[in-house]
Structure 1
Amino acid sequence: MITEEERAARSRRARDAAVAAATALGLDASGAEVVYDVFSVVVDLAPSPVVARVPVVTPRGTTSTGFQRTELAVSRWMASRGEPTVVPSGLVPAEPVERDGFTMTFWEKVEGVLPNDYDAVRRMPAVARLHSVLAGYPGETGFFPGIQGYVDLAFDDLEGREDLLPAADLARARAEWAVLSPVTASPAAFAHAFPGVPVQVVHGDAPFYNLIETPDAVLYSDYEHVGVAPVEWDLAHTGEEAIAAYDTAAAELGLRAVDTGVLRAMERLRDLQAVACLAMAPQLPLLLDGLSTTLETWRATEPWRNGHTPST
């Protein structure tokens, strides 16, 4: 398990790499400072109006570059349509930059950011609007890219790690994943499981959570996991009031209502994604506390078995 001193050192290395890359690109980053450090280290490259995002903790079996290219492409497309969104910095090329073992992207700094209250109900109209826009995204994306390719590896890494996850929990997670994961394999597999429920390009990572508010605008952000999935993938665990608010906004935009059966399946898949995230706890110890409530809630639910969809 990484120590706090080692985590701080990693953060400094990421900052130094961002400063070096920015300087090589012609930016003045003499006043750079870290403003966020969890899965990514976010560096304000002051006095330049640019922010660097440097992933430092990623799931085994995945690479940052593909997600970063998707994020850059989607944000540029959104901006080209006049949608309120964070955008890549116009002062440097809009592409991932490799430096000192890190791969990073550079973004236009947003001034006057307000504290985030994470109010899912209040933000659901913006989520519905995002879905209506992303439905027309013409670029290539994966199918359930935020979950594919790492859950099995993560469960393997959790084998024998009772300090991270009890064996009984891991056995249950593997069993549920075996039942549910086929629906994430392809659009055809999803359609077989949920006939008549369409899929489209969605945000992929709790869009209500990833809105940035200023006194003048509400901006969409964090498109790393954009891909094709049902809209319910974005709405998991937001609560009944939020779903009702989404349905109201969706109806006004001509979008379909939330399918409760699909929503329950997506919520359970999100639970399993959270379990898999524990495999990254040695690199990011705060996950142990951060995921504890989610895991307790999951343990209290009825196991998801083949041929049987729990009501909760």
Structure 2
Amino acid sequence: MTDFLTPQGIARRTSAAVDAAVAVGRGLGLAVTDAKVLYELFSVVVHLAPSPVVARIPTVLPHSVDLESQARRQQAELDVAGWLADQGTPVIPPSPLVPREPVQRGGFSMTFWQFVEEDGDREPDYVANSESVADLHAALRAYPGRLSFLSAAEPRFVTESLALLEECPDLITPADLDRARREWRVLEPLVCSRTAFEAAFPGVGLQPIHGDSPPANIFSGVDGDLYADFELVTLGPVEWDLAALGPDLESAYNRGAQRNGMRPLNEDVLSFVNAVGMLRAIASLALVPQLPVLMEYLKPAVDQWRTMPFAGGVAD
């Protein structure tokens, strides 16, 4: 049977992450006397009060991720979010009080962001958020930095997780795992090769994209909405940012795209990114031992995946 981290183990991990963030913050010259955890799931997010600085410390990670690879991804996030902020795009910016770079301590790699007060009374409007994502894409088109092709799909994570899950029958059935592996053999070449993707989907342009469902990562600040959490920023088709959101939110995005003079979403590419997104959900079952509550989030996705065409119809 699979070993799952206990609530006590998770609490110790959170405490260690907070202690590391406080120590780094103080080492960088910040006044930190009342650190407060604002949120935790895959990361621990800590307000280093009274300083207007938030530390984000990823704590639930694939086994193949080390501090060096994690820092490279975090630097890309800081670079993109900082550039967007400098252009006047409404984002949560990196903190101006510390260097714009990740810092490692105690086995964690962390980044530092400007504290923004949240409007806790406002429910997310995902239709409006999806239309707004087209504005973000329009801003990102001019980003001058280099980004890897579809790194947000995390192909190494998917491959390694499907192998690990063979030893975890309590997390996935053999039949489901067999289907996932067969689908990945179809989809992996298109994820790993820009040339293969462009051959399969000719005329679909690529650009910098958020990488991690931006309609769900718009922060409701007291002074307005802000794009946030660019941890998976990548080069790819805009459809990636709308994966698994459904027709209503896709239509909302298309309205925003038309307003920005951009193309509408491509149905074939949507089928592809939806299929890849579902396999990433299956692969994420391998993270459940680190975060048992994750199973509650993943079960509906797994159930939906079983009803979908094989590999999103890409193999047809």
Is TM-score (shorter-chain normalized) higher than 0.5?
Answer: yes
Identity %: 43
- Paired amino acid for 1:122: A
Q: What TM-score do you get using the length of structure 2 for normalisation?
A: 0.94
What corresponds to 2:181 in structure 1?
Answer: 174
Q: Secondary structure at the match of 2:171?
A: coil
Give 2:34's aligned residue.
31
Stretches (4+) displaced over 6 A: none
Contact kept? 1:86, 1:221, Cα under 8 Å: yes
Contact 1:41 1:56 in 2 (8 A): yes
In the alignment of these two chains, the number of paired residues is: 309
Match status 1:86 vs 2:89: no
**Partner letter of residue 207 of structure 1?**
P
Matched, 1:18 2:18: no
Residues 13-50 of structure 1: CA deviation (Å, up to 9, x unaligned): 00011011111111111100212111110111111111
1:69 CA displacement: 0.3
Q: Where is the helix percentage greater, Structure 1 or Structure 2? A: 2
- 1:60 paired with 2:63, answer yes
Is 2:127 aligned against 1:121? yes
| Alignment correspondent of 1:234 | 241
Residue among 39, 47, 51 paired with 1:48: 51
What are the residue-to-residue correspondences of 1:61-76 with 2, within 5 Å? 61-62=64-65, 63-76=69-82
Cα gap change, 1:108/1:302 in structure 2, threshold over 3 Å: closer, same or farther?
same
Query: Which string of whole-angstrom CA distances, capped at 9 and with x for unpartnered residues, describes residues 104-156 of structure 1?
Result: 11111001333563432121221000111111111111111112321101111
Q: Secondary structure at 2:235's aligned position in 1?
A: strand
Residues in 2 aligned to 1:219 and 1:191: alpha-carbon distance in whole angstroms: 32
Identify unmatched segments of 5+ residues in structure 1. none
1:100–1:39 CA distance, 2 compared to 1 (3 A): same
2:277 matches 1:270? yes
Q: Which amino acid aligns with 1:12?
A: S
- 1:227 and 1:261 mapped to 2: Cα distance? 20
- Asked whether the equivalents of residues 179 and 306 of structure 1 are also in contact (C-alpha less than 8 Å), the reply is no
CA RMSD of aligned residues (A): 1.5
C-alpha distance in structure 2 between counterparts of 1:29 and 1:217, whole Å? 27
* Mapped contact 2:171–2:285 kept (Cα < 8 A): yes
**Does the 8 Å contact 1:58/1:280 carry over to 2?**
yes
The reply on whether 1:5 has 2:8 as its aligned counterpart is yes
Shift of 1:177: 0.8
Corresponding residue of 1:201: 208
Aligned-pair CA distance for 1:232: 0.6
Task: Check whether the contact 1:87–1:108 (CA below 8 A) recurs between aligned residues.
Answer: yes
TM-superposed CA distance for 1:214, in Å, is 2.0
Structure 2 unaligned segments of length 5 or more: list them. Answer: none
User: Secondary structure in 1 aligned to 2:89?
Assistant: coil
What code does the residue aligned with 1:287 have?
L
Q: Distance in 2 between matches of 1:305 and 1:242?
A: 19
Name the SS of the counterpart of 1:54 in structure 2: strand
The separation in 1 between residues aligned to 2:147 and 2:207, in whole angstroms, is 10
Match for residue 158 of structure 2 among 141, 151, 155: 151
